[in-house]
Amino acid sequence: MTSISGKTTLDWTGFAAELAPVEVIDEPVLVKKRSRDFFWYSPILDRRLKACFGDLVARPKTRAELSHCLSVAARHRAPITLRGGGTGNYGQSVPMEGGLIIDTTAMGKIVEIGPDFVRVEAGCNILALNNALMAHGRELPIFPSTQDIATIGGFISGGSAGIGTVSHGMLRDAGNVMEIRALSAEEAPREVVFTGDQINMIHHAWGINGVITELTLRTVPTEDWIGCIVTFDSYPACHGAAIDLAQSETIRRKLCSTLDAQIGTYFDKLRGLVPEGRAMLVTLIPRAQMAEFRALMAAHHGTIALAMDEAERLARKLPHVFEFSYNHTTLQALKTDRKVTYLQILFPAPVNVAKVIEVQAALGDDVFMHHEFARMGGQVVSFDLPLVKYTTDARLYEIMDIYAAHGCPASDPHSCIIEEGGMKKADYRHLAWKKRMDPMGLLNSPKSREWARVRGMTAEEIEALHGG
């Protein structure tokens, strides 16, 4: 079998035979499909990654089968890329050097549901996990808006925040992830258990420094959630209401997002339900707290356009309100206009409307603000994931510079390099663990510019690998 990626010289037929009895996928169309994630959100990443494919997919069902895959790959020095639901949007799960893709979705057992924790295999689908927890009156404190497709291992490796972060903090905040078990990429894979401060050595490391097999996560009581959309005359008015909601000491909101009025014009699924031309606040509120919530919104002159529980949502065949938040906002807009893209900007504490007005005045009419409120280290901050009408790469970076000049730093979602995107700087602790867990540099290595330097690649080689 010839290499699908065109980047490796291994005998992939022999490799697949060695993997037996592990299920493999070698049909080129399917291998190519499983080589993609949502990188196409970015016109820059689309150009860079659309021709990157793996050579073979393995789909282990047990920890022993996963260990066997790693052992075979290590023996052949084959590049390895882990893949859960493939919903990452910086190309985290795209194999840039070809090689073996390990699809974890058949390893999805829920091992134990305790009174306030859950122990689960990495490939477990997040919706299935939340549904199982709800039967016990619990739910995940934080989950991504992609829960229907994403795996818990992919979220902890690739994600950082989500629905619930406004109340429960970032994934990295102490207590949210209690334990991570991971295998090393060696001929005889070793299992390492990460607890306490060590958890952030492997969390959000994009699968470059260990293969997560099992996680123990905090759970919180579930609520009878009412999905709400509130509209306002202006974005600053909407933002002011959101700040009060995010900072409320009593209302247990699970989501607090604000969207510029222009963004709503892209939402086909809300046509006729939510009036166009108005800024939107999107949130999830416990049913028992709706009266208090309605009073807060009225005080800010907001109009509640939608307030529905899960039964009504299902009956009306509507999406969850959180499918208009986080990176789903961009996805909904892309369904209408393939020319839009997005950025990721931090509005640090203390959040305030004046800063939004100041930055908005400096931006052009090609940028529409979209803030997600979050708790970070105990403080309320917001992430602006603005929708941008894409024209040129230079304009995208100019917009990031405008934000930065106003004290709002960008993390570049148009890069597939861990040290540039995902709100991260170079983390040498990740790389120290990579040396221990992946001494041959097989795990998703091109995603780290610093690792390429550690490997002794020249500046030109690094540019060729990362610059495209």
Ligand X SMILES: Cc1cc2nc3c(=O)[nH]c(=O)nc-3n(C[C@H](O)[C@H](O)[C@H](O)COP(=O)(O)OP(=O)(O)OC[C@H]3O[C@@H](n4cnc5c(N)ncnc54)[C@H](O)[C@@H]3O)c2cc1C
Name the site residues for ligand X (rule: CB under 6 A): 37-38, 81-89, 92-93, 104, 122, 144-146, 150-151, 153-155, 157-162, 206-207, 211-212, 326-328, 331, 444
Contact 230, 303 (CB under 8 A): yes
Q: Which is nearer to ligand X, 144 or 264 (CB)?
A: 144
Q: Which is nearer to ligand X, 206 or 347 (CB)?
A: 206
Q: Which is nearer to ligand X, 129 or 237 (CB)?
A: 129
CB closest to ligand X, residue no: 154
Contact 389, 379 (CB under 8 A): no
In whole angstroms, the minimum distance from the beta carbon of 357 to ligand X comes to 27
Using the Cα atoms of residue 248, residue 146, residue 467 and residue 8 in order, give the sign of their dihedral. Answer: positive
In whole angstroms, the minimum distance from the beta carbon of 180 to ligand X comes to 9
Strands (E), 321-436: 340-342, 345-347, 367-368, 370-376, 379-384, 387-389
Tokens of 94: 């795209």
In whole angstroms, the minimum distance from the beta carbon of 414 to ligand X comes to 14
Q: Which is nearer to ligand X, 38 or 225 (CB)?
A: 38
Q: Which is nearer to ligand X, 280 or 297 (CB)?
A: 280
Q: Which is nearer to ligand X, 38 or 403 (CB)?
A: 38
Q: Which is nearer to ligand X, 88 or 141 (CB)?
A: 88
Tokens of 340: 């839009």
Q: Which is nearer to ligand X, 240 or 421 (CB)?
A: 421
In whole angstroms, the minimum distance from the beta carbon of 303 to ligand X comes to 26
In whole angstroms, the minimum distance from the beta carbon of 155 to ligand X comes to 3
The strand pairing partners of 14, in sequence order, are: none
In whole angstroms, the minimum distance from the beta carbon of 150 to ligand X comes to 3
User: Which of 148, 417, 373 has its CA nearest to residue 256?
Assistant: 373
In whole angstroms, the minimum distance from the beta carbon of 160 to ligand X comes to 5
Longest dimension (CA), the chain: 69
Contact 428, 454 (CB under 8 A): no
Per-position b or e across 275-314, b if 16+ CB within 10 A of its CB: eeebbbbbbbbbeebbeebbebbeebebeebbbbeeeebe
SS3 60: coil
User: Which of 455, 431, 442 has its CA nearest to residue 187?
Assistant: 442
| Chain-centroid distance, C-alpha 244 | 26
Q: Which is nearer to ligand X, 278 or 444 (CB)?
A: 444
In whole angstroms, the minimum distance from the beta carbon of 101 to ligand X comes to 9
In whole angstroms, the minimum distance from the beta carbon of 125 to ligand X comes to 8
Residue with tokens 């892209």: 266
- The alpha-helical segments, DSSP class H, found in 301-448 are 310-315, 326-336, 353-362, 393-405, 428-437
**Cα–Cα distance measured from residue 94 to residue 416, given in angstroms and rounded to the nearest whole number:** 9
User: Which of 31, 23, 25 has its CA nearest to residue 54?
Assistant: 31
**Cα–Cα distance measured from residue 217 to residue 193, given in angstroms and rounded to the nearest whole number:** 14
